[in-house]
Structure 1
Amino acid sequence: MQWFGPPNMKPASLQAELDVRTGGRFRISFVGGDGEYFEAGGIYREVVPNERLVFTWAWHSTPERESLVTISFKPDSAGTLMVFHHAQFADETARDNHQRGWSSFLDKLDAFVA
């Protein structure tokens, strides 16, 4: 929760409920800088500690547009290499919007662990 969310998010608004196990559910919500409410959730399809997370992703406003996120972790001489893959988008606009969003989140993660 210390790094997740877009740069303009109201930090106190971030809420997360995570049941990190195969078949478990998650829900993440936050309020953007303009006051708009966002909520996403999904189900963990695969949880392999220190190796891989696979989960569905859908915004509460468009639950029928479910996509799939796979995050792999691999040992690296400098620490851990994380490979992030988000697929099965409804269209190119959704893909591009998610790419911008995840890029900003991962920039915040990079600054957090630096």
Structure 2
Amino acid sequence: MKPATLTAELDVRSGGRYRISFVSDDGEYFEAGGTYREVVPNELLVFTWAWHSTPERESLVTISFKPDSAGTLMIFHHAQFFDEAARDNHRRGWSSFLDKLDAFVA
């Protein structure tokens, strides 16, 4: 089974909120959300990230977009994790997502 987004509610503006839900490869349901702290079209997204199951463990995602000769360079940074296990789990999840995104846009 491939991961599928079940819902995505996005209010992409500074102060706006988002909530997404999806099912993992092994069938586990996940839901996350947060608040956009900074939105600069075609340049920058900064938003908080927290799983629905652990809303007190909020972290911060920063995504920068820069022109590149081949198209657009995306610089992804996720920080302020609750602990090393959370960091490592997010690294695996984001790596899988970004690999799929890379294959999709290739």
TM-score normalised over the length of structure 2: 0.94
- Matched to 2:38, the amino acid is E
Structure 1 residue runs of 4+, over 6 Å off?
none
In 1, Cα distance between equivalents of 2:33 and 2:18: 5
Q: What SS does the corresponding residue of 2:62 show, helix, strand or coil?
A: strand
In 2, Cα distance between equivalents of 1:103 and 1:14: 20
Match of residue 55, structure 1, among 47, 56, 65: 47
Match of residue 88, structure 1, among 60, 80, 89: 80
Aligned residues: 106
Over residues 12-50 of structure 1, what are the superposed CA-to-partner deviations in whole Å (9 max), with x where a residue is unaligned? x52100000000000000123443221000000000001
Match of residue 16, structure 1, among 2, 8, 17: 8
Residue of structure 1 equivalent to 2:59: 67
- Matched to 1:102, the amino acid is W
1:42 aligns with 2:34: yes
Cα RMSD of the aligned pairs, angstroms, is: 1.3
| Structure (1/2) with the larger strand percentage | 2
Which has the higher relative contact order, 1 or 2, with Cα contacts under 8 A spaced 6 or more apart? 1
Residue of structure 2 equivalent to 1:27: 19
1:103 aligns with 2:98: no
Unaligned runs of 5+ in 2: none
In 2, Cα distance between equivalents of 1:87 and 1:16: 22
Unaligned runs of 5+ in 1: 1-6
Identical-residue share of aligned pairs (%): 85
TM-score normalised over the length of structure 1: 0.88
